[in-house]
Amino acid sequence: MDSALIPKGVKRCSLGLFTLGIAVAGAVLLWGVYAMLLCWIKGLNQTNMNDYYGFALWIWADLAVIALGGGAFFTGFLRYVIGKDELKNIINYAVIIGFICYSSALLILAIDVGQPLRSWFIFWHANVHSMLTEVAFCLSCYFAVLTIEFIPLILENRQVDKVPFFHNLSHNMHEVMAIFAATGAFLSFFHQGSLGGVAGVLYGRPFGSREGLLVWPWTFFLFTWSAAACGPCFTILVTWITEKITKKKLVKDNVIRLLAKISGWMLATYIIAKIIDTWYWATVTAPSMGFTLMDFYSNNAFYGIWILVLEIFICGIIPALILITKTGRNNSKLLMTAVILAVIGVCINRWVMVLQVMAMPVLTFENWVLYIPSWQEVATTILPVAYGVIVLALAYRYLPVFPQEKELNPID
Amino acid sequence: MKKEHTHENAKKFGMVIDLDKCTGCGACMVACMAENNVPFKKDESEKLDSITWIRVYKLTNGKSFPDTEICYLPKPCMHCSGIGEHGHSPCVSVCPATATDYDHTTGIVSQIYTRCFGCRYCMAACPYHARYFNWWDPVWPEGMEKSLNPDVSPRMRGVVEKCSFCFHRYQAAMDKAYTEGRRELEEDEYQTACTQACPAGAITFGDLNNPDHKVHELKKSPNAFRLLERLKTNPKVYYLSSRDWVRKAGDNYLEAENKVKKK
């Protein structure tokens, strides 16, 4: 029924099956929208946040999706600025994933603030000293860039492309895409960094606080670095999941391996920097504030030292070692294990830099607090996942996302 | 007017709380809530989301009977001057919308409720947990709205609030002084509600820079300390205690460190 919209030379599942899949994701989406409306109408009392846990699940989700969406800016940077031409075969998907991640982050932020209608105050009454101000400006600008990068792909839909104006617009936008990719990389460097700075500048919170360079704490650079390392891993992971669902090879192995190799070296260098940062923090920064490393981890099992081991060793060193070796990259099981570990690792990093910062008491007569999110928080955090699935499904079905799909899956 | 607002004669309002005198009666908390129209819940047993601009903590020395000692510690906003005393307090420097500000003429950290959009970054930044979020709209029991303080605006759901050192009292006192042709206040003309309510006289309030004010001398006591001084937040609330363990409780120390300077 919708065959006129499907790109030529590729095969898609039946409209019925597609609709069923969209309906399942749509049901989850509606559940999230219901929770979102509850939060907007009744207020943040719908959450289990409190005055000790002012930042919680949503801020973690925000930081995590932005890190994972980092695949868009870094792949774009490699493709258009560095000139890694092979990556043209995955850049479309990286941009769509980035678009989903960033639009989700903006939506979550809109739910997370106590007075959403005043959100524009961040631009109007901007405090230039605040990392969050930098986040707001760069995030919004980069989302606009991602939208600009996404538009030409939408215009390539078979029916839209028939309109001469859209055809020419799409062509011309492709011509200048390098400028947008470079702008995006520049903006991303700052907002990924400022998100790291959000915790790093909290000099009243010893768990997050870091020294740094000029006005930027070390976490500023670490966040950008880790997003550039793990974002492409997420792009690879989503591509792999898409291939499993569609039962098709969509991107050639050499493209995936090239991205994995660059990602691996970024991860390896990042994890060295992260280890140095952790060591300095544990031996110099924290003791100057009266804390030992174990003061940060020893209170309960949930916030135990295992989380540091998991983040740095299991989800940092191991995937980096796999990805920088040819044998590791050429073994698809090892490759996917590394990619999954790297994605988990960056999510754990964002988790501790939000949740553990809040959980740890600073006053000697206060206690650790534990936090369990309400169902409304969980539903609104899952909402972007459902939204992402729907956007990806629609894009895959109706747009020429993967340039190598025809070649890899010839129709008899 | 301009001359008065220079750094040379800027005021630095602060508090000295004598913990040896505090009985933990909570009168300061009650007075603060009434003075500042602080909203409350039907059930206040969950303290993690209830609002108390000044909160009294119960500290113990951790020893068993008969060596047990307790100490009550009232904790308002510390009105930190920040690293280097430049006004970059932990909360002020992070607020993205300039909804909280450091007033260099008084040293008071303000909160602009109508500008706050509820991102709670300031709460994350404050190591004292002195900032509170309005998780609900305020609901006053029938008739109580008539007894609200007309000088203090009640806050709406979704914004952060905190102790203002009863800034409205400062404004009123300054208004009065101006009409009388004065530019300076006497010490007793501007006092916070908690200071006046404390039956034990444990709280002293005034200009820390002014040698004529009691706090100026009190903060120099060898028993004086501030909470979390090592973080360089530069709080303007000082505490007095003759007990070693209480002073030690004011900050975090490594085991090997000489925990509190000897008298």
Degrees (nearest 5) of the Cα angle A103, A104, A105?
A: 90
Where do the H-state alpha helices sit in B50-192?
90-94, 121-125, 167-179
A412 lies in some domain: no
Least CB–CB distance from B132: residue in A51, A125, A129? A51
- Closest residue in chain B to residue A45, using alpha carbons only: B135
In whole angstroms, give the CA distance from residue B69 to residue B130: 25
Torsion of CA A26, A32, A38, A41, to 10 degrees: -70
In whole angstroms, give the CA distance from residue A239 to residue A93: 8
Choose the mutation target among B47, B135, B237 for the interface with A, i.e. most A CBs under 10 Å. Answer: B135
How large is the average pLDDT for residues A125-145? 92
A204 lies in some domain: no
Q: Cα–Cα distances in Å, from A195 out to A58, B9, B119, B181?
A: 14, 39, 14, 51
Residue A177's pLDDT band (cuts 50, 70, 90): confident
Helices A131-155 and A88-112, axial angle in degrees (round to 10): 130
How large is the average pLDDT for residues A344-365? 94
Neighbours of A28 (CB within 10 A): 17
Per-residue pLDDT reduced to its tens digit, B113-165? 999 999 999 999 999 999 999 999 999 999 999 999 999 999 999 999 999 99
Where do the H-state alpha helices sit in A247-356?
253-280, 286-288, 306-309, 318-324, 326-330, 332-351
Residue B4's pLDDT band (cuts 50, 70, 90): very low
A323 with A260: CB under 8 angstroms? yes
Residues 6+ apart with CB under 8 A from B180: none
Q: State residue B2's pLDDT score.
A: 45
A150 lies in some domain: yes
Q: Cα–Cα distances in Å, from A250 out to A155, A175, A334, A361, A404?
A: 21, 25, 19, 49, 6
Backbone angles phi, psi at B139, to 5 degrees: -125, 120
A26 with A386: CB under 8 angstroms? yes
Q: Test B231 with A204 for CB contact under 8 angstroms.
A: yes
Q: Test A204 with B135 for CB contact under 8 angstroms.
A: no
Q: Test A290 with B136 for CB contact under 8 angstroms.
A: no
Per-residue pLDDT reduced to its tens digit, B174-229? 999 999 999 999 999 999 999 999 999 999 999 999 999 999 999 999 999 999 99
Domains defined for chain B, CATH in brackets = 3-248 (3.30.70.20)
Q: State residue B66's pLDDT score.
A: 95
> How far is C-alpha A170 from the geometric centre of its chain's CA atoms?
27
Per-residue pLDDT reduced to its tens digit, A30-68? 999 999 999 999 999 999 999 999 999 999 999 999 999
Residue A214's pLDDT band (cuts 50, 70, 90): confident
Looking at the complex, report in whole angstroms how far the Cα of residue A122 sits from the nearest Cα belonging to chain B. Answer: 5
Q: Test A204 with B230 for CB contact under 8 angstroms.
A: no
Residue A125's pLDDT band (cuts 50, 70, 90): very high
In whole angstroms, give the CA distance from residue A174 to residue B95: 39
Q: State residue B7's pLDDT score.
A: 52
A7 lies in some domain: no
> How far is C-alpha A35 from the geometric centre of its chain's CA atoms?
22
Q: Which domain holds residue A384?
A: 15-199+210-402
A51 lies in some domain: yes
- Closest residue in chain A to residue B135, using alpha carbons only: A45
Q: State residue B6's pLDDT score.
A: 52
Q: Cα–Cα distances in Å, from B74 out to A362, B26, B33, B128, B203?
A: 17, 8, 14, 12, 9
B32 with B252: CB under 8 angstroms? no
- Closest residue in chain B to residue A46, using alpha carbons only: B135
In whole angstroms, give the CA distance from residue A370 to residue A374: 13
Q: State residue B14's pLDDT score.
A: 97
Residue B256's pLDDT band (cuts 50, 70, 90): confident
A356 lies in some domain: yes
Strands B70-75 and B55-60: antiparallel
Mean of pLDDT over chain B: 93
Domain with residue A127: its CATH number is 1.20.1630.10
Q: State residue A267's pLDDT score.
A: 97
Task: Reduce the DSSP state of residue B243 to 3 states and report it.
Answer: coil
Q: What are the respective helix, strand and coil percentages of chain B, to the nearest 5? A: 25, 15, 60
Q: Test A114 with B93 for CB contact under 8 angstroms.
A: no
A77 lies in some domain: yes
Looking at the complex, report in whole angstroms how far the Cα of residue B115 sits from the nearest Cα belonging to chain A. Answer: 7
- Closest residue in chain A to residue B158, using alpha carbons only: A114
Residue B1's pLDDT band (cuts 50, 70, 90): very low
Q: Test A127 with B253 for CB contact under 8 angstroms.
A: no
Looking at the complex, report in whole angstroms how far the Cα of residue B182 sits from the nearest Cα belonging to chain A. Answer: 34
Q: Test A121 with B123 for CB contact under 8 angstroms.
A: no
**Interface predicted TM-score (ipTM):** 0.93
Predicted confidence (pLDDT) at residue A234 exceeds the cutoff of 70: yes
Predicted confidence (pLDDT) at residue A136 exceeds the cutoff of 60: yes
When divided into structural domains, chain A yields a total of 1
Least CB–CB distance from A205: residue in B125, B232, B254? B125
Looking at the complex, report in whole angstroms how far the Cα of residue A120 sits from the nearest Cα belonging to chain B. Answer: 9
Contacting residues of A for B253, CB less than 8 Å apart: 290
Least CB–CB distance from B97: residue in A121, A287, A365? A121
Residues 6+ apart with CB under 8 A from B220: none
Residues 6+ apart with CB under 8 A from B261: none
Backbone angles phi, psi at B225, to 5 degrees: -155, 165
In whole angstroms, give the CA distance from residue B106 to residue B129: 22
Q: State residue B118's pLDDT score.
A: 96
A6 lies in some domain: no
Strands B100-103 and B108-111: antiparallel
Backbone angles phi, psi at A367, to 5 degrees: -115, 165
Per-residue pLDDT reduced to its tens digit, B44-90? 998 999 999 999 999 999 999 999 999 999 999 999 999 888 889 99
Q: Test A114 with B129 for CB contact under 8 angstroms.
A: no
In whole angstroms, give the CA distance from residue B35 to residue A47: 29
